[in-house]
Amino acid sequence: MKVGLTVAAVALIAVGDVGSAAAETIYVTNEKDNTVTVVDGGTLEVANTIPVGQRPRGITLSKDNKRLFICASDDNEIQVFDIAKQAIVGTLPSGPDPEQFILAPAGNPLYIANEDDNMVTVVDVDSGEKVTEIPVGVEPEGMGISPDGKTLVNTSETTNMAHFIDTESHEIIDNVLIDSRPRFAEFTADGKQLWVTAEIGGSVSVIDTATRKVIKRIGFAVPGMNAEAIQPVGVRVTRDGKLAFVAMGPANRVAVIDAQTFEVKDYLLVGQRVWQMAFNADQSRLYTTNGNSNDISVIDVASLEVVKSITVGNQPWGVAVAP
């Protein structure tokens, strides 16, 4: 899940190198096991496995780094995980079948895609109240929010659009047509671009957020691999705007893109069916969830090398990193 790391990281670097990989903890939702695997960032070993709600998928860190929010899709709720206590301490309403969600940069509210219901649900994480529901396209999925918190983007998988939503009025202000099955939306740190993956289209669309036009459609080609196996899902762009990483599903690779020129620089072999990714606080590492090989891969961002894979639970889906 997208975890507003920008704000968290800046704050942490200001008070010292607390955000280093050695001190961090990685949390992985295991969709099939109804658990979260806790991985120690220093040793890169599994530290604990914690039972959570049914079909845990999206996972994101609160802005104060004290809580994790976890989509328990088949329980139709969001679970609140207390990091100090290492336990579920409460739930939030979510609407039916929450899959992906995103937290406002200010830390509240939480915007949740209801995959089964053509809705985005807005929830106040402090009061635990549902604020409103926003009707969107068929099978809402990807969720992105602009750094200023004013624009929310939801992608709908069967409607094939990125819906731009004003977070004041909760109205859709624009719709941008994307290739087939848009899965994930990521704003760049400067807010000027939105990157959207299309799983079945096999592409990434880069949208200029001022004009809301697609300025670049990035395609992929892995030698010896059928085009149909290339199914982009997660995308992450580094804070400095230099690199983008795209998880390519059953192609078992993460594409590395020069985010300035949009050229694909490399394909990093990770585990099987790679879907979601998260940076650590200082963005020295990128963690990927590999659903079909039951592991996560650790990518060293500086060297662009996969340095380790760690076995987690059954069908890892989402990942969040707490400093």
Nearer Cβ to another protein, position 43 or 180? Answer: 180
The nearest distance, CB 308 to another protein, in angstroms, is 27
Question: DSSP letter at 282?
Answer: T
The nearest distance, CB 181 to another protein, in angstroms, is 5
Rounded CA-CA distance 87/70 in Å is: 12
The encoded tokens of residue 47 equal 């530290």
Question: DSSP letter at 274?
Answer: E
Rounded CA-CA distance 289/282 in Å is: 19
The nearest distance, CB 137 to another protein, in angstroms, is 6
The encoded tokens of residue 255 equal 């594409």
SS3 6: helix
The nearest distance, CB 21 to another protein, in angstroms, is 34
Nearer Cβ to another protein, position 62 or 203? Answer: 203
Nearer Cβ to another protein, position 228 or 240? Answer: 228
At 73, give phi and psi (nearest 5°): -60, -45
Nearer Cβ to another protein, position 41 or 250? Answer: 250
Nearer Cβ to another protein, position 167 or 280? Answer: 167
Distance of CA 151 to the CA centre of its chain: 17
The encoded tokens of residue 108 equal 């509240």
**Whose CA is closest to 181, among 145, 230, 253?**
230
The nearest distance, CB 185 to another protein, in angstroms, is 16
CB-based contacts of 303: which residues, under 8 Å, 6+ apart?
Answer: none
Positions touching another protein (CB under 8 A) are 97, 115-116, 118, 135, 137-139, 156-161, 163, 171-177, 180-181, 200-202, 212, 226, 228, 231, 250
The encoded tokens of residue 307 equal 């340095």
SS3 21: helix
CB-based contacts of 10: which residues, under 8 Å, 6+ apart?
Answer: none
Nearer Cβ to another protein, position 136 or 286? Answer: 136
SS3 4: coil
SS3 31: coil
Nearer Cβ to another protein, position 232 or 323? Answer: 232
